Amino acid sequence: MKRRSDLIAVVAVTILLPFLCAPQDALKPADGPAYRVPYRISETLHVIVRAKLNGKGPFNFIVDTGAPAMFVTTDVAKKVGVELERNWATFEHMELEGGAKIKNAQARVEDIFQIRGMNSMNLPGLRLDGVLGYNILAKYRMEFDLSKTSMTWTDLHFDPPKPRPLLGDEGASAPPELQALGGLMQGLGSAMGRGKAGPPQPRGFIGVELADEAESVRIKSVLPQSPAAAAGLKPADTLSEFAGMPVNSAADVIKLAASVGVGEEIRVVIKRDNERVELTVKTGKGF
Amino acid sequence: MTRTSRQWAVDSRQQGVAASRHAFLVKAAAAVLVFAGCVVAASLGRADDPPAKPEPVTVDFELMRSMHMAVQVKVDDAGPYRLIFDLGAPITLISGRAAADAGMISKEKAAKKAFFGMRGEGKVKRFQVGDVIAEDVPVMIMDHPTITAAAEFLGPIDGIVGYPFFARYKFTIDYVAKKMTFTPSDYKPQNVMAQMMGRMFGGNQKKLISPAALFGIEVDKPDGDDEPGVTITKVYAGSPAANAGLLPGDRLLTLDGRWTDSVADAIGAATFVKPVDFIQAMVRRGDETRTVEVQPAVGL
C-alpha cells in the first residue's frame, strides 16, 4: 500500500497542521464586481488558476480550500524578487487571470512537499507554483462548474485575516515524514527521467475550414498561402482519409491532427469530382 | 513521421509498456502498479439523469479555527461526521471509524494499525453532504496521519470531501456567509488514481497543444521580449481573425479572457474555445488597447 498512500498524501494539497487563526465574522456589504476567471484542470484533477505577482508570471496556482493561506514556492519568490519576512512575502500587486486584482497579497513562501512531489514527477502536466488558500479565496464568492471553461468570482469586499502558524513562522507546514515524501518523489522522478518535459509544443497548422456533411467532411474554404493551399486542397473537396485514418467528421480530423507537430507531413485522401486524389500537406505554424 | 510509427507509439502507451527502460525502473514501476491494478475504472457518472430544473441546495459549513471548511457528512446513513471540504483534494477520504459505522469495513479492521492509516477503498452508496446526496462516490478509507494530528487541535475530523464529490456539481463557496450551494452539473468526473498511474508509467507523453477552432493567425515572441502579450505576425486573408479586423503587428494580450504572454499560452487559449461562438480578443495597436470580437471557425 505504500506507494498509493504516498500518492494520496502528495496530491491532496491539504495543509492542515500548524495554522490557526482567530476567525472573524465579516460585515455583509454589497457585492463588488464579478470576474470571469478562466481555469484549467490539471492531470492531477486540481483546479488551476493563474496569477501575476508584481507584474511577473503568470504563475500556476491550485485553488485549495484545504489551505489556510496562499503558498508560493521559493522559486516564485526569487523570480518576483520579493523580500521575505520570516517566510512570508507581501506581493504589492497580485492579478488573477480574468482581471481581479488584490493589493498587498500575503503568501507563505515554502516548498511544500505536495508541490515538490507532483512537479518532480511531472504529474500535473504543468508547473505548479503554489496554492491559493483561505486568505485569498475568502475575498470572493466563487462559482464552480467543471463542465465550463471559466468560473465566476464575485468580490465580497472582505479582507480575511492572515493565518499564523501555530508552531511559529520558521517551521514547515507538514511533519517531517510527509516532508520526506517530496524528496522521495523527486528521487523517483529523476530516476525515471520525469519532470524534465520541455515547454508544450503546438500542433501543426493547415489552414482549412471544415464542414460536416452526412458521414463525410467537406473542405469549406482554404486560406490563401496556407499549407493547405500549398498542398493543392480546394474548397468543395471531400476529405475521406487523414493521416492514414478514415474520417467522417470535422471532429475526427481535429482529433487526429492533435498528434501532428509543426513541419510534419500528413497524407490526406480527398474526393474531387468523384475521383480519389492523394495529397501531402506539410503543416505550418499558426492556429 | 509515418502513421505507422505514430500508431505504434500510441498502442504501446495504451498497453502501459513504457516502463521498460531498465531493471530498476521495472521494479519501481511494479511496486506501484500493483496498486494501480486495484483502481476501479472511472464509472462515476450518475445513472439517473438530473431532474429538469434542479434548484440549488444550500449547505452550511463551519469555518474551523484553522480556516478550513468543515461540513457534516453522512456515509450510507451513518453519522453525521465532520469532514473537511477540500478543493485541493482529488480524492475523497473517510476515516476507518466512519467506514466501520457504515458497514464498509469491519470494526476490527478499523482498529488495526496500518501504514499511513490506509484501510482500503470502496464506494459509498449514499454520500450525503448537508442535504446534498451523491450516489456511488468512490472513497479511500484512510486515517490520514495529518488529519489525525489536526483533530487534536480542532476536534474530530473524519476525512476529506474532495473532487469525486464536488466535481459532479455546479457549486458556489461563500466564506463570508459560510454557505455553499450545489446543483448537478454535466461534468463527468475522472478517476485521479488511474490518471496518475498512467502519467507515472505511461512514459513521457508528448501532448501537443491543440486548438479547438481555426483563427487564421500566426503569433511570435522573440527571446528577451518580456512585455505582456505576443505579436501577431500573420493574418490569413478571409480567416476569422481577418474578418474580426486583426492586423499583423497587433499585440495580442488576451484571448477569450486568457493571458497570451507566450506563443504556447496564445495557442493554449485557443484550446478552450468552441468554434462559431464569439469570443473576445484584447489587442494593443500602437498606443491603443482594444477588444475585438472573433468568431473562430470549425477547422485547423
A244: CATH: 2.30.42.10
Q: Is residue A153 part of a domain?
A: yes
Q: How far is CA A242 from the centre of its chain?
A: 30
Record: contact A66-B65, CB cut-off 8 A:
no
Residues forming beta bridges with residue B41, ordered by sequence position: none
Percent of chain A with pLDDT over 90: 68
Name the more confident of A223 and B43: A223
A125 lies in the same domain as A220: no
Q: Which residues contact A243 (CB under 8 A, 6 or more apart)?
A: A256, A257, A260, A266, A267, A268, B3, B6
Q: Which of A139, A166, A192 is the last residue of a domain?
A: A192
Q: CATH number of the domain that A105 lies in?
A: 2.40.70.10
- The C-alpha cell that represents B164 in the structure block: 469525486
Query: Are the beta carbons of A62 and B163 separated by less than 8 Å?
Result: no
Could you tell me if A280 lies within 8 Å of chain B, comparing CB atoms?
Answer: no
Residues A226 and A118 in one domain: no
Together in a domain, A45 and A185: yes
- Nearest chain B Cα distance for residue A83, angstroms: 22
Q: Which of A16, A41, A249 to mutate to test the interface with B (most CBs of B within 10 A)?
A: A16
Interchain contact, A3 vs B264, CB within 8 Å: no
A16 lies in a domain? no
Is residue A157 in a domain?
yes
Helix-helix angle B192-201:B23-36, to 10 degrees:
170
End-to-end CA distance of chain B: 19
User: Which of B114, B200, B236 shows the shortest C-beta gap to A223?
Assistant: B236
Interval A71-122: pLDDT, tens: 999 999 999 999 999 889 999 999 999 999 999 999 999 999 889 989 988 8
Nearest by Cα to A136 from A106, A174, A170: A106
Same-domain pairing of A156 and A104: yes
**Per DSSP, what are the bridge partners of residue B260?**
none
Cα gap A284→B267, rounded to integer Å: 14
Burial per residue of B149-187, b for 16 or more beta-carbon CB atoms within 10 angstroms, e otherwise: ebbebbeebbbbbbbbbbbbbbbbbbbbebebbbbbbeb
**Cα A153-B174-A61 angle, rounded to 5 deg:** 50
CB contact (8 A) between residue A245 and residue B3: yes
A197–B204: do the CB atoms touch at under 8 Å? Answer: yes
In a domain, A271, yes or no: yes
Range of the structural domain that residue A267 is part of: 204-285
Indicate if A178 and A208 belong to the same structural domain: no
Do B173 and A285 make contact, defined as CB atoms within 8 angstroms?
Answer: no
Interface with chain A: mutation pick from B67, B172, B243, B282, highest number of A CBs within 10 Å: B67
User: Which chain A residues in 204-233 lie under 8 Å from chain B, judged by CB atoms?
Assistant: 205-212, 220-221, 223-226
Last residue of a domain, one of A192, A214, A245: A192
Q: Are residues A132 and A171 in the same domain?
A: yes
- Quick one: A50 and A185 in the same domain? yes
Beta-carbon contacts of residue A183 (< 8 Å; ≥ 6 apart):
A113, A116
Helix (H) or strand (E) holding B218: strand B217-220
Residue A12 lies in a domain: no
A8, pLDDT greater than 90 = no
Nearest CA-CA partner of A111 in A124, A126, A94, A127: A127
Inspect the interface and report whether the beta carbons of B153 and A258 lie closer than 8 Å: no
Q: What percent of chain A has pLDDT over 70?
A: 79
Nearest CA-CA distance, residue A122 and chain B, Å: 8
Give the chain B residue nearest A6 (alpha carbons): B116
Beta strands B93-94; B132-142: pairing state = parallel
3-state helix, strand, coil in chain A (%, to 5): 20, 35, 45
Whether residue A113 is contained in a domain is answered as yes
Residues A68, A117, single domain; the answer is yes
CB distance A203–B85 less than 8 Å? Answer: no
Averaged pLDDT, A236-254: 96
- Average pLDDT over chain A reads 88
Whether A101 and A243 map to the same domain: the answer is: no
Distance to chain A for B102, nearest Cα, Å:
22
The conformational region for residue A14 under phi > 0 = left, psi -120 to 50 = alpha, else beta, is beta
A147 touches B: beta carbon within 8 Å? yes
Residue B136 C-alpha from the chain's centroid: 19
Question: Domain ends where: A192, A227, A248?
Answer: A192
CB-based contact B264 A211, cutoff 8 Å: no
What was the ipTM of the complex prediction?
Answer: 0.88
8 Å CB contact between A258 and B208? yes
CB contacts of B30 in chain A (<8 Å) are none
Chain A residues close to B187, C-beta within 8 Å: 145-147
Q: Are B134 and B127 in contact (CB under 8 A)?
A: yes
* Residues A143, A163 within the same domain: yes
Grid coordinates in use for B298? 470549425
With both helix axes pointing from N to C terminus, report the angle between B23-36 and A176-191 in degrees, rounded to the nearest 10: 130
User: Is there a single domain that holds both residue A169 and residue A49?
Assistant: yes
B83 vs B162: CA distance, rounded Å: 10
Q: Which amino acid is at A98?
A: G
Q: What is the pLDDT of residue B126?
A: 97
Contact between A146 and B187 using a beta-carbon 8 Å cutoff: yes
Cα separation, A128 vs A107, in Å, equals 15
Residue A13 lies in a domain: no
- A68 vs B contacts (CB less than 8 Å): 66-68
Rounded distance between C-alpha atoms, residue A275 and residue A160, angstroms: 69
Q: Do A173 and A235 fall within a single domain?
A: no
In this structure, are residues B63 and B117 in contact, taking their beta carbons and an 8 Å threshold? no
Q: What is the pLDDT of residue A29?
A: 64
CB–CB contact B195 A150 (8 Å): no
Give the number of domains in chain A: 2
Q: Show pLDDT as tens, one digit a residue, over chain B (300 residues).
A: 333 333 333 333 333 333 333 333 333 333 333 232 222 222 223 334 444 678 999 999 999 988 899 999 999 999 999 999 999 999 999 999 999 999 999 998 888 888 778 888 899 999 999 999 999 999 999 998 888 888 888 899 999 999 999 999 999 999 999 999 999 999 999 887 777 777 777 655 567 999 999 999 999 999 999 999 999 999 999 999 999 999 999 999 999 999 999 999 999 999 999 999 999 999 999 999 999 999 999 999
Is A262 part of a structural domain of the chain?
yes
